[in-house]
Amino acid sequence: MAIKYAKRMNNLKASEIREILKLTERPEVISFAGGLPAPELFPIEEMKLVSELVLNEEGAKALQYSTTEGYGPLRDKIAKRLNGVGIQGDGDKVLITNGSQQGLDFSAKIFINEGDIIVCESPSYIGAINAFKAYLPEFVEIPTDDEGMIMEELEGVLSSRENVKMIYVIPDFQNPSGRTWSVERRKKLVELGNKYDLPIIEDNPYGELRFEGEFLPSVKSFDTEGRVIYLGTFSKTFCPGLRIGWVYADKELLHKYILIKQAADLHSNSMSQRELDKFLELYNLDEHIEKIKVVYRKRRNIMMDTIKESFPEGLKYTYPEGGLFTWVELPKDINARDLLIKALEVNVAFVPGGSFFPNGGRENTMRLNFSNMPEDRIKEGIQRLGKVIAEMMKQ
């Protein structure tokens, strides 16, 4: 049998993170690999109540087919919450998706023909890179510093390359780097989007998890022409298992996403949408997020303190003000994939950074997650990792 696949299938391989996660299911492994929220914070009791209420009050509707756009009251509540990132939200501009991952897939599906250019941060989110790859784009990575994407480099690309079709960014507590863009860069990005007439995909799964420092308005909040498409999710602030994210965009753009969603899977889970809506009605999600932040802040602190104490001198790493990740640059001659093999021998896991560069390279980097492990295991794991790094540096 020699069935022929579409060309895009040559481009796809299993996400390295997912494969590593499989290895790390053994309970003795201290994993900094995933981007998993802390399950002990999930509102299980509240879920039991809202689930019962939804089934009592509107069970038949919750189990029936529903509209592609999503459950109206939930769309309205999401729009209202967007005030938190400086957006005067409108429920009609919200499409419910299966996590923001689906919004990433749809974005490339809507904008990208084979060979078109997607501009992204270097490094960028591996899940976005994999979703985009199915549409056979060319990636152009833009160097970043502590304030985000470097705008002169971005303009250099936009002014010299013809078939750039979209810009993809994660301005808050970026995955994988943990960095956050300055306000100036956010404004400048919109300016350049306007000048070169390009859609901007702003992916913001972590923005609500700020532990310290000042609030920064979203890129979308500076959008003057309706070209910023904002992707949000409840995966990090509520729970990921329900797969509820959203696309927020102006009407014409949103309509394209709705068409694609209809063709892709008709609509998102009706029951879970109503459960989440009921939760938002009965409980205070912001209070819940405060609880999450207290725990993650402590975990971030212990990770960063232990890195400082236990990692060899001369490594670079980011100090994230929120989110789930820090990012470490090892000496140039150390390959993080080799390091991972040695780390797994002492039951510590992380994601080598190379996969976050769509065009490859930078194998001396790694992403560390601090949200999913308790404090004592973070300390222990980072200490072990420090030793393994030190040994590799000696060789």
Q: Based on CB atoms, which residue is closest to a second copy, 221 or 318?
A: 221
The window from 34-42, 148-156, 282-290, 308-316 that contacts a second copy (CB under 8 A) reads 34-42
Among 20, 78, 87, 112, binds a second copy (CB under 8 A): 112
**Binding of a second copy by 23 (CB under 8 A):** no
Choices 101-109, 320-328, 334-342, 356-364; region in contact with a second copy by CB under 8 A: 101-109
342: CB partners within 8 A, 6+ apart: 388, 391, 392
For a second copy, the closer of residues 65 and 215 by Cβ is 65
4 binds a second copy (CB under 8 A): yes
Apex 340 CA angle, 336 and 342, nearest 5:
115
Per CB under 8 A, does 393 bind a second copy?
A: no
Quick one: which of 37, 89, 322, 353 contacts a second copy (CB under 8 A)? 37
Taking CB under 8 A as the binding criterion, the range among 100-108, 172-180, 320-328, 339-347 that sits at the site for a second copy is 100-108
For a second copy, the binding residue among 8, 195, 251, 316 (CB under 8 A) is 8
CA–CA separation, 224 and 188 (whole Å): 12
By CB under 8 A, the residues from 50 to 79 that bind a second copy are: 51-52, 55-56, 59-68
Residue from 145, 225, 281, 391 touching a second copy (CB under 8 A): that is 225
CA distance 320 to 61: 43
- Does 113 sit near a second copy (CB under 8 A)? yes
Q: Does 7 bind a second copy (CB under 8 A)?
A: yes
The answer to whether 97 and 106 have CB atoms below 8 angstroms apart is yes
Give CA–CA dist 96/71, Å, rounded.
8
Using CB under 8 A, pick the residue from 259, 282, 341, 390 that binds a second copy.
Answer: 259
Q: In the complex with a second copy, which residue's Cβ is closer, 66 or 306?
A: 66
For residues 253 and 228, give the distance between their C-alpha atoms in angstroms, rounded to a whole number.
Answer: 9
> Taking CB under 8 A as the rule, does residue 6 contact a second copy?
yes
β-sheet with 138-145: strand ranges across = 94-97, 245-248, 228-233, 200-203, 164-169, 117-122, 138-145, 148-149
Cβ(144)–Cβ(121) below 8 Å: yes
270 binds a second copy (CB under 8 A): yes
Q: Which residue has 């994230």 as its token pair?
A: 320
- Exposure on the CB side of residue 223, measured as CA atoms within 13 A: 24
The interface region with a second copy, picked from 77-85, 181-189, 252-260, 299-307 by CB under 8 A, is 252-260
In angstroms, the CA 282 to CA 32 distance is 34
Among 151, 165, 75, CA closest to 118 = 165
Find the shortest distance in angstroms from Cβ 10 to a second copy: 11
In angstroms, the Cα distances linking 199 to 250, 278, 335 are 11, 33, 36
Subset of residues 126 to 155 that bind a second copy, contact rule: CB under 8 A: 127, 130-131, 133-135
Rounded to an integer, what distance in angstroms lies between the CA atom of residue 260 and that of residue 102?
A: 10
Contacts of a second copy in 161-200 (CB under 8 A): 165, 197-199
Whole-angstrom distance, CA of residue 18 vs CA of residue 23: 9
Interface with a second copy, residue 111, by CB under 8 A: yes
Residues 332-371 that bind a second copy (CB under 8 A): none
Q: Which stretch binds a second copy (CB under 8 A): 75-83, 124-132, 207-215, 317-325?
A: 124-132
> By CB under 8 A, is residue 98 in contact with a second copy?
yes
Cβ atoms of residues 76 and 273 within 8 Å: no
Which C-beta is closer to a second copy: that of 263 or that of 341? 263
